[in-house]
């Protein structure tokens, strides 16, 4: 059996956000105290640091489908964005064997253009030729389940329709590394089934898929491995059912 081929290596990654917020409140809570703080500008915004990813290290391989699980604010989406190269590391390194493709619920589509034009532009941007776009067009529309809406501007789509179209466009091409951030959360049961099948196909085509989803059932069905994050640190990394069972037990 051939040795597994690494696709992403995350080495002691740290990501820190710098945000503006109110200064910590000091003194008493009386109206006089509040007026004194205002007069002294004690409530002026100050810059704070949020350590979103803390010393994370792991390696993914071709054929892996990795579910990222954890509570809100645990660092899942931040980790995906760092792997995609959209967030700089404060320290540590991310190595990839190709440019990862990030698909999220907020992935950019041009609201003033029709679904048809977004499909064409999206596929061309991913490197397909016009002939390949023509060949895949109908299957993308069918997968997204948008029907006649394909000829209408994206601004008329529901959030679920837009999310389905994003996934259909992005998954029309085999990606070496595909990052999916809650893009499956707004689909119906049939779309969920087709999306799960497509993720399995991507794995079979020797790609690597990362999936952030609050639906643990989707993670169990589509992933062979899971990484559990908490406060920016890895709690567990291993076989998907073992990690998810431990995570579920921790939140009961």
Q: E strands along 84-194, which residues?
A: 91-96, 101-104, 177-181
Three-state secondary-structure class, residue 188? coil
Summarised one tens digit per residue, pLDDT across range 186-202 is: 667 778 788 888 888 87
Q: Give the model's pLDDT for residue 189.
A: 75
Range 112-116, long-range pairs (CB < 8 A, 24+ positions): 112/153, 112/154, 112/155, 113/153, 113/154, 114/150, 114/151, 114/152, 114/153, 114/154, 115/141, 115/144, 115/146, 115/149, 115/150, 115/151, 115/152, 115/154, 115/157, 115/165, 116/150, 116/151
Instruction: Supply 95's token pair.
Output: 């190595």
Q: Give the model's pLDDT for residue 49.
A: 82
Question: 10 Å Cβ neighbour count for 19?
Answer: 10
Within 154-251, residue ranges assigned H as helices are 159-170, 189-204, 216-222, 240-251
Q: Give the model's pLDDT for residue 203.
A: 75
Q: Give the model's pLDDT for residue 30.
A: 58
Q: Give the model's pLDDT for residue 229.
A: 97
Q: Give the model's pLDDT for residue 29.
A: 56
Q: Give the model's pLDDT for residue 107.
A: 56
| 12 φ/ψ angles, rounded to the nearest 5 degrees | 50, 50
Q: Are 211 and 76 in contact (CB under 8 A)?
A: no
Show the low-confidence residues of the chain (pLDDT under 50).
106
Closest CA to 26 of 16, 17, 34: 34
């Amino acid at each position: 059996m051939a040795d597994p081929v690494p696709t992403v290596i995350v080495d002691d990654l740290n990501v820190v956000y710098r945000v503006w917020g109110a200064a910590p409140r000091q003194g008493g809570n009386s109206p006089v105290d509040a007026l004194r703080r205002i007069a002294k500008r004690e409530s002026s915004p100050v810059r704070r640091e949020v350590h979103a990813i803390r010393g994370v290290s792991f390696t993914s391989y071709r054929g892996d489908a990795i579910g990222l699980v954890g509570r809100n604010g645990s660092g899942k989406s931040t980790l995906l964005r760092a792997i995609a190269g959209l967030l700089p590391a404060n320290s540590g390194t991310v190595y990839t064997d190709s440019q990862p493709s990030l698909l999220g619920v907020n992935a950019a589509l041009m609201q003033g253009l029709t679904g048809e034009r977004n499909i064409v532009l999206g596929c061309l941007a991913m490197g397909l030729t016009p002939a390949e776009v023509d060949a895949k067009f109908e299957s993308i529309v069918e997968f997204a389940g948008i029907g006649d809406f394909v000829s209408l501007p994206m601004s008329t789509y529901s959030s679920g329709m837009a999310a389905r179209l994003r996934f259909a466009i992005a998954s029309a091409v085999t990606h070496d590394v595909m990052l999916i951030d809650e893009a499956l959360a707004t689909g119906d049961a049939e779309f969920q089934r087709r999306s799960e099948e497509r993720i399995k196909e991507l794995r079979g085509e020797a790609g690597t898929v990362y999936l952030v989803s609050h639906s643990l059932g989707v993670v169990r069905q589509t992933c062979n491995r899971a990484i559990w994050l908490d406060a920016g640190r890895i709690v567990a990394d291993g076989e998907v059912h073992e990690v998810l069972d431990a995570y579920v037990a921790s939140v009961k």
